[in-house]
Structure 1
């Protein structure tokens, strides 16, 4: 007889479980009409690839018959905990010294967002992150920025510089005219404030653009 997910985890460790089995443990129970493994497979059917699970919202999960608020919030809490652990461990692992470092740090958070988000990383001279903050959330196609807000933390911490990162929900990371204008505006402000604009990056789906390198990178 095949082990149930909880028994399998106890016997072999969490790494031995398939994705739907891990979800089944979070759900704990099925319904009177289907077992917990069948219910977990229905959750898996909500997204095309496991990386898309982080985009799930409460209302998405509750479209599955048998998923109530308690089950849905348990899954969302587990996802958020995993995201925070990943962010903290990556942050401590090494400083942000290359565009690749920054992309790896933020890709899971940003590449599948449905609205434009603008994040500012405030860095010391060694590339260590002093603060990471979401400065603005825009519409699906545009974002409005007050330049002074981008430098608040850098001035507060006496930082070496900032990296400005935003996503393109379309998945195409190539810069727009508005992106060019924003970069030029922020660059001029950085010179006046003596805070380096280290880079402005745009994250798409499996690609990113760096103003520092003036290149589009497919990953």
Structure 2
């Protein structure tokens, strides 16, 4: 049966307009993105099949082009559309964060860093550069490493902080394993960077580690 033959209240698009996006399942949201199904499968059926094949929404969203294009009815055009949607989401979070003080919007900081780093297959270290009122000036991914770690150079962090005329910053990196618990090396690096940046009067406000759940704040745990 085509989706057009379903009761209006059960059609994903109509359901979203009536009840809001939160009321939809992953398959229903994906069906709206797909718009059409393939032979023998409605858009919702195709969405369910894709979620099953990929193992969930997150692996689907993080798939590379070859992996994405290997699935039923999907190709470069759909992949490009999906990447555009994801990037719009990241930029929306960035704009939301720039309008407020980072210290007054801890959840906005967490949401933005998750969007930037959680999908990375290897370790990435970055900084949120802040002005004197703790508003975001810029985000930069500074170092990329293997799945086991990244080499971080304090001199480069200081250089970029000065280039942005930052008064403070928030450090961040991801753990590709999904476990956000800081290692001893993470805590030592945080102290090294804090000391180096203090020499040029730039404060380190926090260091967030991004894993599968909510990013972990070293400041909240008294490790800064």
Partner of 2:155: 148
**Secondary structure, in 3 states, of the residue corresponding to 1:120?**
strand
TM-score, normalization by structure 2: 0.78
**1:48-72 deviation per Cα after TM superposition (whole angstroms, max 9, x unaligned):** 5545554233233223222222223
Q: Note closer, same or farther for the CA distance 1:67–1:144 as it changes in structure 2 (3 Å cut).
A: same
Partner of 2:41: 34
Q: Note closer, same or farther for the CA distance 1:206–1:17 as it changes in structure 2 (3 Å cut).
A: closer
Q: Note closer, same or farther for the CA distance 1:137–1:35 as it changes in structure 2 (3 Å cut).
A: same
**1:3-31 deviation per Cα after TM superposition (whole angstroms, max 9, x unaligned):** 48586279748636544333233323332
What is the rounded CA distance, in whole Å, between the counterparts of 1:14 and 1:77 in structure 2?
22
1:195 maps to 2:205: no
Q: Note closer, same or farther for the CA distance 1:43–1:172 as it changes in structure 2 (3 Å cut).
A: same
**Secondary structure, in 3 states, of the residue corresponding to 2:133?**
coil
Greater mean deviation of Cα atoms: 77-86 or 14-23? 14-23
1:107 maps to 2:114: yes
Which residues in structure 2 correspond to 1:1-219 (within 5 Å)? Answer: 1-2=5-6, 3=8, 5=11, 8=14, 12=18, 15=21, 18-46=25-53, 50=57, 53-92=60-99, 94-97=100-103, 100-101=106-107, 102-215=109-222
2:54 touches 2:60 (CA, 8 Å); kept in 1?
yes
Q: Note closer, same or farther for the CA distance 1:24–1:205 as it changes in structure 2 (3 Å cut).
A: closer
Unaligned residue ranges in structure 2 (runs of 5+): none
2:12 touches 2:24 (CA, 8 Å); kept in 1?
no
| RMSD of equivalent CA atoms | 3.0
Greater mean deviation of Cα atoms: 203-212 or 133-142? 203-212
Q: Note closer, same or farther for the CA distance 1:59–1:14 as it changes in structure 2 (3 Å cut).
A: farther
What is the rounded CA distance, in whole Å, between the counterparts of 1:145 and 1:177 in structure 2?
15
- Corresponding pairs, count: 215
Q: Note closer, same or farther for the CA distance 1:86–1:51 as it changes in structure 2 (3 Å cut).
A: farther
What is the rounded CA distance, in whole Å, between the counterparts of 2:20 and 2:104 in structure 1?
33
TM-score, normalization by structure 1: 0.80
Deviation at 1:176, TM superposition (A): 1.9
Deviation at 1:198, TM superposition (A): 2.0
Deviation at 1:74, TM superposition (A): 2.0
